[in-house]
Copies of this chain bind each other. A is one copy, B any other.
């Protein structure tokens, strides 16, 4: 069977069958990052390709570098770890000019500076398209996992759901050109171009966090990962999902339901986590919304007007052709 028919989850099953444990890991395949046997060192790698993860049509090399660095470091932060090292493997077109390579590294360096992380070299090969493959190493006193949710906890989300995808659509859709300069549009565009990981929240909350994941595949998919890995039932309150004014406006224009958009739009790189505590709705000036609860059981549900029903929506699977991010106008057509 071809991988586009299989999807990511099935492929991971195949890989798990082949890969043998040699007792070097305390957390292996299946979380945002792996954890070494010391229980403190977390390690993750991600590949980002032109036309799949970034679009040079509206991103310069600084934007590409900073966005990819945010995305990779987000996986370390999503283990409740401090990022330490970023390794960079680059495939560069031969005609790339050196000033663009400089901008690419300046973009990554700017993010590393904010995160107190250090670029430690890597590899450069000549290729016909730009690909970044980034590896981040971090340290956590107690890594928080997707499997750490317990019944009775609340479900929290930082920032806004769907804001980064709103920004991407504002940039990618020629029809939105007139609307790009408003402050609300700018907030969305910023979250797409520079989705800085919420390391401050990790530092502040520490042991108050139960399960933890970043929202990269879409809120529904990422929440379902917590449900599966923790073997619990996650109940989301759709009215409590934080949706930005820019997203409301865009959804209105596209004629789609903003809650469904927020459940399925990917790459916000916000923190989705559980906690026993009732948390304030802003922490160090970052919105923190209680959007659901953890119960005994299995699966992902929504509760509205006293009725509970399963959430079937899922976000982006990079391997299947279900959603094709470059096909902007078709991407959301079934999302009404």
Interface, chain A (partner B; CB < 8 A): 1-4, 6, 8, 10-11, 14-15, 17-25, 28-30, 34, 36, 41, 43-49, 52-53, 84-85, 87-92, 94-98, 101-102, 105-106, 109, 112-113, 116-127, 131, 133, 135, 137, 318-319, 321
Q: Which residues of B contact A118 (CB under 8 A)?
A: 19-25, 28
**Across the interface, do A87 and B44 meet the contact criterion of CB distance under 8 Å?**
yes
**Across the interface, do B89 and A18 meet the contact criterion of CB distance under 8 Å?**
no
**Across the interface, do A94 and B4 meet the contact criterion of CB distance under 8 Å?**
yes
**Across the interface, do B20 and A113 meet the contact criterion of CB distance under 8 Å?**
yes
**Across the interface, do B120 and A85 meet the contact criterion of CB distance under 8 Å?**
no
Given contacts A45-B45, A49-B127, A94-B321, contact A121 B30 (CB under 8 A): yes
Whole-angstrom distance from the CB of A324 to the nearest CB of chain B? 10
Q: Which residues of B contact A2 (CB under 8 A)?
A: 94-98
State in angstroms the CA–CA spacing of A26 and B155 once bound together: 40
Q: Which residues of B contact A113 (CB under 8 A)?
A: 20
A/B interface sample: 16 pairs, CB < 8 A: A2-B95, A14-B105, A18-B105, A22-B112, A22-B117, A24-B117, A25-B120, A41-B41, A44-B87, A45-B135, A47-B89, A47-B125, A89-B133, A126-B319, A135-B135, A137-B137
Q: Nearest B residue to A23 by beta-carbon distance?
A: B118
Q: Which residues of B contact A319 (CB under 8 A)?
A: 92, 94, 124-126
Whole-angstrom distance from the CB of A235 to the nearest CB of chain B? 29
**Across the interface, do B123 and A46 meet the contact criterion of CB distance under 8 Å?**
yes
State how many copies of this chain the complex holds.
Answer: 2
Whole-angstrom distance from the CB of A193 to the nearest CB of chain B? 19
Q: Nearest B residue to A22 by beta-carbon distance?
A: B118
Interface centre among A105, A117, A121 (most CB of B within 10 A): A121
Whole-angstrom distance from the CB of A42 to the nearest CB of chain B? 10
Cβ-defined partner of A318 (8 Å) among B29, B34, B45, B126:
B126
Cβ-defined partner of A1 (8 Å) among B23, B30, B97:
B97
**Across the interface, do A120 and B46 meet the contact criterion of CB distance under 8 Å?**
no
Interface centre among A52, A88, A123, A127 (most CB of B within 10 A): A123
**Across the interface, do A46 and B98 meet the contact criterion of CB distance under 8 Å?**
no
State in angstroms the CA–CA spacing of A191 and B15 once bound together: 26
State in angstroms the CA–CA spacing of A10 and B36 once bound together: 35
Q: Which residues of B contact A6 (CB under 8 A)?
A: 98
State in angstroms the CA–CA spacing of A90 and B10 once bound together: 15
Whole-angstrom distance from the CB of A74 to the nearest CB of chain B? 13
For the complex of A and B, 6 pairs with smallest distance between CB atoms? A133-B133, A29-B121, A34-B120, A4-B94, A47-B89, A18-B105
Interface centre among A10, A119, A321 (most CB of B within 10 A): A119
Q: Which residues of B contact A10 (CB under 8 A)?
A: 98
**Across the interface, do B98 and A137 meet the contact criterion of CB distance under 8 Å?**
no
Q: Which residues of B contact A92 (CB under 8 A)?
A: 3, 319
**Across the interface, do A122 and B24 meet the contact criterion of CB distance under 8 Å?**
no
